[in-house]
Amino acid sequence: MRQIDKLLHQYGESHQNSTNVWIHGIAVPSIFFVTIGLIYAIPVPDMLAKFNVTFAHILAIPMLMYYFKLSGPIGAAMTLLTIGVFLGITALEQAGISIWQFSIALFVIMWVLQFVGHKIEGKKPSFFEDVRFLLVGPAWWWMHLLRRFNIQP
């Protein structure tokens, strides 16, 4: 069994209840967005700022490499999501919205929502057992979308 299959199976074990799955369908990509947003908001040295590079851009490279190592389709899907996140952050900036304030507020709301989902599920979040599941959550979210188009992660 491939590593991605094992991780998705383990993650899925604590995400069986339809309400919890629905909550995670909203919260997981939102948390991915705001986590990148929070990292994006960290001030960078002038050398990086001159090229419009943030710590989020730098972190995206090894993160996407990890996803591609797990699965080509998941890596490609996560690349699309990451590009979408950076476009969303740019849109927020252009609208004059504080990235860090927006991200903190949504981060708290979405984590509370996920814990409510796990309370309904009756199982603790997977990342309590293995921190890798913080990265597996978005892959799990994509897995559901990819399978709708008959693409195996």
Containing 80, the helix (H) or strand (E) segment is helix 72-94
Has this prediction a pTM greater than 0.75?
yes
Residue 37 token pair: 């947003």
User: Own/partner pairs for 86-92, CB < 8 Å, 24+ apart?
Assistant: 86/36, 86/40, 86/56, 86/57, 88/33, 89/36, 89/37, 89/40, 89/56, 92/37
The C-alpha atoms of residue 139 and residue 74 are separated, in whole angstroms, by 6
Dump pLDDT digits (tens) for 24-42.
989 999 999 999 999 999 9
Dump pLDDT digits (tens) for 97-127.
999 999 999 999 999 999 999 999 998 887 8
